[in-house]
Amino acid sequence: MPLIEGDALHPPANVAAMRARRPLTGVDRRWWLGAVGAALAAARKRSDQEPHSTPAPDG
């Protein structure tokens, strides 16, 4: 599963605010949290669709 960099999920307005050293508000983070949740759901869906290896038999 590839690494997802959370900062890459921020909209451009949030990135600009962070570059200007302005703290993000809860409203600023709302969209980002939704994007994080969507990325996690997509990763889980992909993981659930991948074939799983079976454990080696004992002996």
- pLDDT confidence of 55, banded at 50, 70, 90? low
Residue 21 placed within a domain:
yes
CA distances from 33 to 9, 37, 48, 54 (A): 9, 6, 22, 35
Domain count, the chain: 1
Residue 30 placed within a domain:
yes
**pLDDT over threshold 60, residue 20:** yes
Residue 26 placed within a domain:
yes
Instruction: Give per-residue burial for 3-14: e unless 16+ CB within 10 Å, then b.
Output: eeeeeebbeeeb
Residue 17 placed within a domain:
yes
User: In angstroms, rounded to a whole number, what is the distance separating the alpha carbons of residues 49 and 25?
Assistant: 37
**What pLDDT digit, counting tens, does each position of 25-52 carry?**
999 999 999 999 999 999 888 766 666 5
**pLDDT over threshold 80, residue 19:** yes
Q: For residue 14, give its domain range.
A: 9-34
Contact of 43 with 4, CB cutoff 8 Å: yes
For residues 14 and 58, the model is more confident at 14
